[in-house]
Amino acid sequence: MEEIRIYRIIWKNILAAIVCLALTAFGIIEAINTNAGAGKATVSLVFGFFGLYALYQTIKVRLRPYLTITDKCLVQSRADKYLPNYTIHFAEVDHFELSRFNLLLPLTRDILVYYKKNKDKQKIFSPTFFGRIAAKLFSGADDYIAIHGINMKPQELFDLLSKRI
């Protein structure tokens, strides 16, 4: 089979960047018209910086796929290219479960991963270490895949992963 790449949705980041840049423009115009001084201009420039940073993050995230599904594994890439990608091998997975586990965003869905009993645990320094601890404590799962903000419906991704086991 072919490699499937799943990207994050970027319209929310673009909207946040546009709002920040619009606030910057209005703040600078108002500071100039009312002779408000450096205070308002500085606050406006801070909003402008956050808007440019949001655009930078949007471009950076869009260039790399968030999830890559192959015949043998699922690779979850990190936003920072210096962190290692997190790999889940389908041969080591017992089953997946679609759940509303996420504590920070309770209305989103996550895919819980249950490994076979002979699976060696990942390194303690894995980027998802604390997420795995929370998944184990609250749901009994060994791992999870955060799937909010991607360009595929959660049920479709769950069905696709379940077929690969």
Q: What is the pLDDT of residue 77?
A: 83
Q: What is the pLDDT of residue 124?
A: 36
- Non-local (6+) Cβ contacts of 32 within 8 A are none
Angle at 66 between CA 65 and CA 68, to 5 degrees: 70
Global confidence as pTM: 0.69
Question: In this structure, is the dihedral angle defined by the CA atoms of residues 59, 16, 106 and 121, taken in order, positive or negative?
Answer: positive
Q: What is the pLDDT of residue 137?
A: 64
- Please give the C-alpha separations between residue 133 and each of 13, 41, 76, 121, 126, in angstroms, as whole numbers: 29, 45, 18, 12, 11
Please list the pLDDT of the chain residue by residue as tens digits (165 residues): 688 999 888 887 788 888 888 888 887 787 777 776 677 777 778 878 888 888 887 887 777 888 999 999 999 887 667 777 888 889 888 889 888 755 565 566 788 888 887 655 554 334 456 666 666 666 677 777 888 778 888 889 999 998 988
Q: What is the pLDDT of residue 70?
A: 92
Q: Where are the domains of the chain?
A: 9-63, 67-164
